[in-house]
């Protein structure tokens, strides 16, 4: 059996399961972000009184934090009242950061668990050997009432990543290259298991970036067998005992893809689709691409390692006049660490705007949204029309290093130029 199947089997109390089977499984942790006040309404409409376990669910205020308008402020107010009424052990208010970053930091994510959140990028937590997936408000209300949810046991496909990347190529480039091959509909309701020597050597941040974007291929969940970095991270933080699940030798995947990461270059997902992936060099060869804004942050590109790479490139330089660079750390913990290491001051001296930890402009809500006709290069995970503001703006997805390099000249630029 695969580790994901073992997790579903354990939490559903079954002795065996098979692909396509519907199981009712216990949820180890549930998270609701501030887009989903409807969860509270549905909870009461269905007769809910108290949440099933006040230590296994939380609100995270990240999409509209701090509140940019009256409506979002009302939503936060109602959610706080629900959290207080239910005496939730975990509550992440506007001073905390993005849900997928703050939950691992708080120790509620660990190997062998099922975590469900009202956010499609919950696949991120496969980086920790957990089964993470998103759901809507009604399903989440059901979880809050019962602590359970139904799942169809997914087909599992292998994405094998072997080799060592060249200098200037990052996990974001690797997952973009994978996405360009498998496409946006290549893994619908399937689980993706990322394997191979490259994965085995990846740090926590890189693993989170790759698992995060599994959903952009339609995946229900993602998985990576925990390595020593993950186990050390979890051991320091986990709030309850956990058990690592291992895939049996010889497991037969529904499909398998193999990539030699040594041949991957800096990549771009060009407007306006995540699967419209091209090498940066090929895009530049077709002509200069001027940009109005660079954006570094989100649950894909806002960790310490991401900001460090940007600061390394921009230290002692300054972005061009009439351009802007917005940097939003993924969490309070990330921001404090970056301040301690001097990355924030280096970026501010280079002309960057630093904003509150959270989602910011990634969903087009505030803190850096785009006007019609503007071009942005961003370390976020989606570039659909209107994603970061105007439907007439254009977005290129790239690694944080590529974003920083592009801000040096105000045009899309290869980061390897600055890393020798």
Q: What is the CATH number of the domain that holds 204?
A: 3.30.499.10
Same domain, 352 and 279: yes
354 within a domain of the structure (yes/no): yes
Query: Quick one: 338 and 225 in the same domain?
Result: no
φ/ψ (deg, to 5) at 143: -60, -45
Q: For residues 64 and 87, give the distance between their C-alpha atoms in angstroms, rounded to a whole number.
A: 23
Shared domain check, 148 and 42: yes
Same domain, 252 and 335: no
Local confidence band at 268 (pLDDT 50, 70, 90 cut-offs): very high
Q: Closest Cα to residue 351, out of 304, 310, 308?
A: 310
Alpha carbon distance 224, 246 (integer Å)? 10
3-state class (DSSP) for residue 329: coil
In a domain? residue 159: yes
Label residue 19 left, alpha or beta by phi (over 0 means left) and psi (-120 to 50 means alpha).
beta
Range of the domain at 133: 3-239+248-259
In the chain, what is the straight-line distance between the N-terminal and C-terminal CA atoms, in Å? Answer: 45
What pLDDT is attached to residue 420?
Answer: 74
Share the mean pLDDT of the chain.
Answer: 98
pLDDT over 90 at 297, yes or no: yes
pLDDT of res. 72: 97
pLDDT at 46: 97
Is the model's pTM score more than 0.85?
A: yes
Judgement on whether residues 75 and 219 belong to the same structural domain of the protein:
yes
Q: Same structural domain for residues 32 and 108? A: yes
- Are the CB atoms for 169 and 309 separated by under 8 Å? no
* pLDDT tens per residue across span 206-228: 999 999 999 999 999 999 999 99
Whether residue 172 lies inside any domain: the answer is yes
**Percent of all residues in the chain with a pLDDT value above 90, rounded to a whole number:** 100
Query: Are residues 254 and 317 part of one domain?
Result: no
Contacts of 129 (CB under 8 A, 6+ apart): 3, 110, 111, 112, 223, 224, 225, 226, 230, 244, 245
**What is the predicted pLDDT for the residue at 267?**
98
Q: Are 402 and 325 in contact (CB under 8 A)?
A: no
| 205, 291: one domain | no
With respect to residue 63, please indicate whether it lies within any of the assigned structural domains: yes
Number of domains in the chain: 2
Q: Is 213 in the same domain as 325?
A: no
Contact 147, 56 (CB under 8 A): yes
Closest CA to 367 of 295, 316, 309: 295
Q: For residue range 149-182, what is the model confidence (pLDDT) as tens digits?
A: 999 999 999 999 999 999 999 999 999 999 999 9
Residue 264 lies in a domain: no
pLDDT tens sequence across 97-147: 999 999 999 999 999 999 999 999 999 999 999 999 999 999 999 999 999
Q: Which of 226, 259, 292 is the last residue of a domain?
A: 259
Tell me: pLDDT of 318 over 90. Answer: yes
Whether 255 and 214 share a structural domain: yes
Q: Give the whole-angstrom CA distance, residue 11 versus residue 4.
A: 11
Q: Are residues 252 and 285 in the same domain?
A: no
Residue 237 confidence class, pLDDT cut points 50, 70, 90: very high
Question: What is the average pLDDT across 276-301?
Answer: 97
Instruction: Judge if 234 and 132 occupy the same domain.
Output: yes
How confident is the model at residue 112, as a pLDDT? 98
């Amino acid at each position: 059996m695969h580790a994901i199947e073992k997790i579903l089997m354990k939490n559903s109390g079954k002795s065996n399961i098979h692909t396509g089977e519907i199981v009712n499984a216990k949820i180890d942790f549930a998270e609701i972000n501030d887009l989903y006040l409807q969860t509270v309404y549905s909870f009461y409409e269905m007769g809910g009184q108290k949440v099933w376990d006040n230590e296994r669910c939380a609100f995270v205020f990240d999409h509209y934090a701090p509140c940019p308008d009256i409506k979002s402020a009302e939503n936060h107010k109602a959610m706080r009242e629900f959290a207080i009424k239910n005496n939730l052990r975990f509550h992440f208010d506007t001073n905390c950061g993005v849900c997928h970053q703050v939950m691992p930091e708080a120790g509620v994510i660990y190997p062998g668990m099922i975590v469900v959140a009202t956010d499609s990028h919950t696949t991120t937590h496969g980086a920790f050997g957990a089964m993470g997936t998103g759901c809507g408000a009604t399903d989440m209300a059901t979880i809050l009432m019962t602590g359970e949810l139904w799942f169809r046991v997914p087909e599992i496909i292998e994405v094998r990543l072997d080799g060592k990347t060249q200098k200037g190529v990052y996990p974001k480039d690797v997952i973009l290259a994978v996405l360009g091959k498998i496409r946006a509909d290549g893994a619908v309701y399937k689980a993706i298991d990322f394997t191979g020597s490259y994965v085995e050597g990846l740090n926590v941040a890189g693993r989170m970036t790759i698992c995060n974007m599994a959903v952009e291929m339609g995946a229900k969940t993602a998985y990576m067998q925990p390595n020593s970095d993950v186990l050390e991270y979890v051991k320091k933080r986990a709030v309850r005992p956990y058990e690592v699940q291992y895939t049996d030798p010889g497991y037969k995947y529904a499909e398998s893809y193999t990539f030699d990461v040594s041949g991957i270059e800096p990549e771009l997902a060009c407007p306006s689709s995540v699967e419209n992936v091209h090498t940066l060099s090929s895009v530049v060869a077709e002509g200069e691409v001027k940009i109005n804004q660079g954006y570094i942050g989100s649950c894909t590109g806002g960790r310490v390692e991401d900001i460090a790479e940007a600061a390394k490139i921009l230290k002692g330089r300054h972005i061009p006049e009439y351009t802007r660079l917005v940097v939003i750390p993924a969490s309070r913990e990330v921001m404090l660490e970056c301040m301690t290491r001097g990355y924030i001051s280096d970026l501010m001296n280079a002309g960057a705007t630093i904003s509150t930890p959270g989602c910011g402009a990634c969903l087009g809500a505030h803190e850096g949204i785009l006007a019609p006709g503007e071009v942005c290069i961003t370390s976020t995970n989606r570039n659909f029309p209107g994603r970061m503001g105007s439907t007439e703006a254009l977005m290129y997805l790239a690694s944080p290093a590529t974003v920083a390099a592009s801000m040096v000249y105000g045009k899309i630029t290869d980061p390897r130029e600055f890393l020798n």
